[in-house]
Amino acid sequence: MTAFTVPTHPSAPVAWWSGSRPAERLCHAVGLLLILSGLVHLVVFAVDGGAWYGPVSWRKPVTFGLSFGATLIAVTWVTSYLRIGSRLRALLLVVFAADCVVEVGGITLQAWRRVPSHLDMETPFDTAVSMTLAVGGGVLVVLLTVFAVTSFRHRPAGPAGMALAVRSGFAILLVALASGAAMIARGVVLTRTGHQQAAYHSTAPLKPLHGVSLHAVLVLPVLARLLSGTSWSEPVRRRIVAAATGCYVAAVIGAGVWAVLTY
């Protein structure tokens, strides 16, 4: 009797993981851990209670964990479409992952200490944490700007509409970085001049702009990737991505106008 064996194929997640480079695996793992950290602190907030808004709350470790984790995973995936050397990309991604850990770690540490994470110069330790987060923010700006410039110097690869999605995502991400830098700079000036409470409140007008523009680098490329699985023609898919990009830009402009009017 002849024995027959049923061929087995690895599941999609296994195949994706085995096909990833070590740096990509590291970044995806770190991103998932940061997201998990955010979810854990959401549970902590539900149990411990307290205010959701304000310089001292569980909101920060929740939102920063989720946001940094999602952004790290998104950037790791999106940069695979960039025409950039594999070693340089791996180096930039590893530094980016380490910086994300430092940012979320510092914010989480201060939340557990019940003190503000940013713009807090009350003690030498708090000042060190605050300045570390500020420097880390500067590193983020440099790394993501390199990726953004690369996306415009050489047309990104990928399915129809992906080039526009990647370029637009990184361009809008730069708006998020600029608004974040503006919040920190304004807050530091107010803190140094003795207006601590004003420093905490000064960031409010720019927060919607920062939040809206932060995740275009994930939303738009995901849309382009999902459209590639449809039967629609490439011109149609490109028009859909272009329309979505226009809507996203309109939302960013709206948040920017609101920031100007309320600043």
CATH code where residue 76 lies: 1.20.120
Q: In the chain, what percentage of residues exceed pLDDT 90?
A: 60
Domain ends where: 119, 154, 189?
Answer: 154
- Residue 16: pLDDT over 80: no
Residue 194 near residue 215 (C-beta atoms within 8 A): no
In this structure, the answer to whether residues 150 and 165 fall within a common structural domain is: no
- What's the distance, Cα to Cα, between the start and end of the chain in Å? 82
Total tally of structural domains belonging to the chain? 2
Q: Is pTM, for the whole model, over 0.75?
A: yes
- Domain final residue, candidates 124, 154, 184: 154
In angstroms, rounded to a whole number, what is the distance separating the alpha carbons of residues 173 and 243? 18
DSSP 56: S
Predicted confidence band of residue 87 (pLDDT cuts 50, 70, 90)? very high
In a domain, 4, yes or no: no
**pLDDT tens sequence across 53-82:** 877 889 999 999 999 999 999 999 999 999
pLDDT at 3: 43
Residue 14 lies in a domain: no
Range of the domain at 174: 160-263
146/171 same-domain check: no
Q: How far apart are CA 60 and CA 165, in angstroms?
A: 29
Out of 135, 154, 173, pick the residue that ends a domain.
154
Q: Are residues 43 and 98 in the same domain?
A: yes
One domain for residues 129 and 69: yes
User: Taking 90 as the threshold, does the pLDDT of residue 205 lie above it?
Assistant: no
